[in-house]
Structure 1
Amino acid sequence: MNSLKALVSLTALLLGVSSRGNHVEAINMRNTNESVFVIKLDMDISHPTRRVDERFLSVTIDASLVAEEKFMYLLGSPKLRTLTKALTPAFLRFGGTRQDFMIFHRQNAFQSKEYMTNSLFYLGDICERLELPPLLENQLKKEWAVQTFLLQKEELQRKYRRVKFSDHAVDLLYSFANCSGLDLIFGLNALLRTSGNSWDSHNAEKLMDYCESKEYFMSWELGNEPNSYEKKAGIRVDGTQLGQDFLHLRKILQQSKLYNSSGLYGPDIGQPRDHRRDLLTGFLETGAEAIDACTWHHYYVNGRETSLEDFLDPAVLDTLASKTKEVFETINTVSPGKKVWLGETSSAYGGGALGLSDSFVAGFMWLDKLGLAAKLGLDVIMRQVLIGAGTYHLVDDNLDPLPDYWLSLLYKRLVGPEVLKVEALSNSKQPKRLRVYLHCTNKKSTRFRKGAITLFALNLSKNPALIILPSHISNSTVEAFVLESAESGEEGLYSKSVKLNGEVLKMVDDRTLPPLKGSELSPGEQLKVPGLSFAFYVLKDAQAAAC
């Protein structure tokens, strides 16, 4: 009863603060041990501020998976395909550091025939035929756990060996993308250079000839983080040459019947720093007409030096805005109107932060990036990685979904591409610990009415936050989806499990995801975001003209 009285008192207090303007003080609730931060929202739902690609949240598979080709068979796992299908529509980027050390090797006709004869995958539909049998899947998962350790060691030593990959690896990759409903983007090796330091396209043309013979429709990239070529391989490529390399690739694509209209994206440059900005400028001045979108990479922190506090620091989260502004300034000066993508992104570079990038706390960086990137005008963001080496994956080495997977799945189901204006108002002098974003609700969901909007929030504070909606939509029926760690206290931030409205999320079986049920709030009921949690609120009766 004391808690009920406190809530009634709080409501009365809130009704009386309007005369003080739009700013609301943090209020200490009597008879409880927690301090509730009260935030009032200002919204404009009359029109969208911008619209992102419907594949805005996309994923990557790191090219390290093909360092030993047998691990490509993991892409035939029914469990992995079930998880991936649920994230559509999306791009699937196959690339990363090791793409620039990959050489395509076409097996001859005899080898191909022998391979197909000895293969466990035959007859029936191709998606069924390339499905991984359970015994083989379990064996590969055990071996992959060892392989990831070796790959991380190579990464630390910055020693990259050339790797041959065959047409069978391409078959497995394309089958995975096609059977899962993803649009494949293949990263080509840009470190194959001529004596004059231009790109040597011969190996790429062999790969494209094979893909065209199989009618594998896909898009392309050329090279990964050209700003680090010198460090990785002792080769320096300036922006002008890089642009010429992309123009060369575009000409090759134009000569193909299948790929003459396929997408080409690049240059997948690291975030602005020193010569990287000059490299991007030179590239755009020469090769902007070759690409359909300009791609760059963003990570907040160094995975080997970061801390739990960084993952909860608003100042760290805000660095995305400053870096994005620099990129847009360069692009709009040289090639105004060009679409801009985050071609690779996650929490921490260097393979992620051990114990953090694959845990519940990583969701604060990920959800804020989803909200802020759309708000800033980035059209697509590619999450590093769906599966692969490192600790920033969505799916672990056992192919089980991690907290960021569930966060991504809810985002896909509830958030539409139309970005709406929202502002959280508070006169607190402390850094903003509640960050909010607003979109039209995903129109592909048949559960919600036309005009519904989705508010999503992340609470960086240990204390709960109370959200006060604008009066014109405050009586809307709300469906709440609150994500909290499966474990309590600060230790819960390191958890590999997550609760949705109090229920731990896990797959029903390898082919079945759980129902993601919201909790319906009564019209006029306040939105309370627990401390250190994320929440999606679908305002079903908002009747937003923008939506």
Structure 2
Amino acid sequence: MLTPFVAWLYGCLTSALPITPVYADAAGAPMIEPSSLPRIGSVDQRFQSYNIEMVEVTGGRFWKPYRSEGGARPAPSPRSGSDTPASMHSNLYQYRPPIDLTNARLRKLATALAPAYLRVSGTWANSTYFADQDNAPSSPPAGFKSILTHQQWQGVVNFAQAVDARIVTSFAISAGTRDAVGVWQTDQANRVLAFTRSVGGRIAAAEFMNEPDLAEMGGAPSGYDAAAYGRDFAIFRAFMRRTAPETMILGPGTVGDPTLASDLLAASDPSVDVFSYHYYGTLSERCSGNSAPEAALSEPWLSGTDRALSFHKTLRNKFAPGKPIWLTETAEAACGGNKWAASFLDTFRYLDQLGRLAKAGVQVVMHNTLAASDYGLLDERTLQPRPNYWGAWLWRQLMGPTVLDAGPSSPSGLHVYAHCQSGTPGGVALLVINTDRDAPHTLMLPIPSRRYTLDAASLLDERVRLNGRALALETGDELPTIAGAPTDASTLVFEPTTITFLAVPEAGNRACR
């Protein structure tokens, strides 16, 4: 069923991004002039966002972490249902209870990434029943596989309000939402919208369903095709415009098959506010993926995000011209991530992907997940930050929404991205990633800066250092205070496999005022 997805990931064409010249100093080192870098665009203030999967909120069987103790456990009650794609073997999953969204550490670390969008969706959301009263049934009604209680959804609303996140979701589309001839009904979606308003919340944006190009795998009726999707999407669109006009409609939220994605859009004649898509560079080992950590710093791997965007831009231009593009689900690998998704090695992909997509005009990028399985920004058992979290935290502090053109990345492995510095008029922030495993690279910066360099004892380490000092939460789960290392105007050296942010508050860039 996933064969077209896998084939597409490695077969679509590369995209072309605009470039500007890079100067060199007398010694031949590339030189960046922060004061004159041109503005090429801007991203949403909530550009860097994240997912909490619906199955985390309800409790249920989700991708089993590789180092999980005790193996997969059956759900303690029927409420979790058979909420897994039927084509997958059950030992890929592990039951986890509903996430505690009141946890002080979780809230503090999420707040540090604010403002953000919080997407509560995923494959399991397609078959989740939203209870019609405070006392939910003990097992899902026919046509559903799990239950979302009032208390659980109010927990999502309260969490979003506490951490300055805006809710993005999708709705159930399984057999339980359909009439006798299989047409989607609005009852469940209406119930979610009405309850959200009743507890003082709002849904900022919504996709109709999760990944309609994998519809049957995601809980849609057997034989569900583009024509059925088009019919249902028209009902959804009219319902949302009438019932929740303040909520942005996202779509289509496809993940793989290019032919089917085009067919879905053609059938639905979309009138969306935002064009959304999903992207994973590969499948994880759980789902028979065969990628290896040795390739995780290679240009073919990192540039996969460009190829995916190029394909989806083509669809956007044809079916929703001029609409913003959001990447509403992405991570190292589908099916929970590979073993190195929790290590420093994946931070190169994570930050490089943010840099590429911001430069290419994508407005929002939602990482999957905040705190579940191996690709979570936080360890799901301890809620301790993983390397990707520390990268996200530094991005949030330094990289503002105005995007500058720092020129092309070096073919030898030095990737450079530039934004206006967050909260600093005239200031510039640079992200410099050296993916070369063997050689240092240099860059001339003619203005003093403050340097923040991430590295680790080994690429597969789950601990990361900042300017040589281990990053860790302090007493009371406080994030460490960092000031950056003062750096004179000079030719800077970037050691192999390091990630460096440079803050240049005195750049005086007019585009940043």
- Fold equivalence (TM over 0.5): yes
Alignment deviations for residues 413-450 of structure 1 (CA, whole Å, 9 cap, x no partner): 10011111122576xxxx4311111111112xxxx4x2
Gaps of 5+ in 2: 1-21, 61-79, 81-95, 137-142
Select which of 191, 202, 208 maps to 1:222. 208
Per the alignment, residue 473 of structure 2 pairs with 507
Which residue pairs with 1:400 in the alignment? Answer: 384
* Secondary structure of the structure 2 residue equivalent to 1:494: coil
Residues 185-231 of structure 1 deviation map (CA, whole Å, 9 limit, x = unaligned): 12211233334443222222222222222232123222111111123
**What TM-score results when the alignment is normalised by the length of structure 1?**
0.75
How many residues are matched?
A: 441
Is contact 2:213–2:257 with CA below 8 Å preserved after alignment? no
> Which structure: greater helix fraction?
1
Are 1:536 and 2:511 counterparts? Answer: no
Aligned 8 A contact 1:299 1:347 in 2: yes
Contact 2:416–2:431 (Cα < 8 Å) also in 1: yes
Structure 2 residue corresponding to 1:253, chosen from 227, 232, 240: 240
- Whether the 8 Å contact between 1:56 and 1:379 is mirrored in structure 2 is yes
- Name the residue aligned to 1:478: 449
Distance 1:411 1:254, change over 3 A: same
* Distance apart, 1:264 and its partner CA: 2.3
Where do 5+ consecutive residues of structure 1 fail to align?
1-20, 28-37, 113-159
Aligned pair in 2 of structure 1 residues 165, 313: CA closer, same or farther (>3 Å)?
same
Which secondary structure state, in structure 1, belongs to the residue aligned with residue 478 of structure 2? Answer: coil
- Structure 1 residues 266 and 188: alpha-carbon distance in aligned structure 2, compared to 1, 3 A threshold: same
> Pairwise mapping of residues 412-431 of structure 1 onto structure 2 (< 5 A)?
412-424=396-408, 431=411
Partner of 1:127: none
Return the match for 2:149 from 166, 172, 178: 166
C-alpha offsets along residues 90-114 of structure 1, whole Å, 9 cap, x if unaligned?
A: 1000011110120111335xx49xx
Could you tell me which of 395, 415, 428 is aligned with 1:435? Answer: 415
Counterpart amino acid of residue 153 in structure 2: V
CA displacement at 1:40 relative to structure 2: 4.4
Q: Which position in structure 1 is the counterpart of 2:17?
A: none
Task: Say yes or no: does 1:231 pair with 2:223.
Answer: no
- Native 8 Å contact 1:296 1:341 kept in 2: yes
1:449-471 deviation digits (Å, cap 9, x = unpaired): x21111101111123534333xx
User: d(CA) in 1 for partners of 2:223 and 2:426?
Assistant: 52
Shift of 1:272: 4.8
Q: Map 1:33-48 onto structure 2 (within 5 A).
A: 38-41=29-32, 45=36, 47-48=38-39
Q: Which amino acid aligns with 2:417?
A: Y
Secondary structure (helix, strand or coil) at the match of 1:493 reads coil
Q: Which residue of 1 aligns with 2:324?
A: 339
Quick one: distance in 2 between partners of 1:425 and 1:500? 23
CA contact (8 A) 1:422 1:436 kept: yes
Q: CA deviation at 1:47?
A: 3.6
Task: Provide the TM-score with structure 2 as the length reference.
Answer: 0.80
The match for 1:320 is 305
* Matching residue of 1:292: 273
Query: What's 2:6 paired with?
Result: none
Map of 1:106-505 to 2, 5 A cutoff? Answer: 106-108=132-134, 111=135, 162-191=145-174, 192-219=177-204, 220-233=206-219, 235-256=222-243, 259-283=244-268, 286-287=269-270, 289=271, 291-304=272-285, 305-354=290-339, 356-388=340-372, 390-397=373-380, 398-424=382-408, 431-443=411-423, 448=424, 450-469=425-444, 474-485=445-456, 487=457, 492-505=458-471
Asked whether 1:526 is paired with 2:491, we answer: yes
- Residue 46 (structure 2) aligns with: 55
* Preserved CA contact (<8 Å) 1:451 1:544: yes
Aligned CA distance change for structure 1 residues 421 and 167 (closer, same or farther; 3 Å):
same
Following the alignment from structure 1 to structure 2, what is the Cα–Cα distance between the partners of residues 461 and 26? Answer: 21
Distance of aligned partners of 1:494 and 1:106 in 2 relative to their CA distance in 1, 3 Å threshold: same
1:76 counterpart SS class: coil
Greater Cα offset, 198-207 or 178-187: 198-207
- Structure ID, larger Rg: 1
CA 1:240–1:161 in structure 2 vs 1: closer, same or farther (change >3 Å)? closer
Deviations 1:266-289 (A, max 9, x none): 221114534233323433xx12x2
Alpha-carbon displacement from aligned partner over 1:237-268 (angstroms, at most 9, x marks no partner): 44454344344234333444xx3312222221
Whether contact under 8 Å (1:230, 1:236) holds in the other structure is: yes
Match of 1:72 among 98, 101, 105: 98
2:251 is paired with a residue whose SS is strand
Structure-2 change in CA distance of 1:221 and 1:414 (3 Å): same
User: Per the alignment, do residues 61 and 424 of structure 1 end up closer, same or farther by CA in structure 2, a change over 3 Å counting?
Assistant: same
What is the root-mean-square deviation of aligned Cα atoms in Å? 2.6
1:161 Cα deviation from its structure 2 partner:
7.3
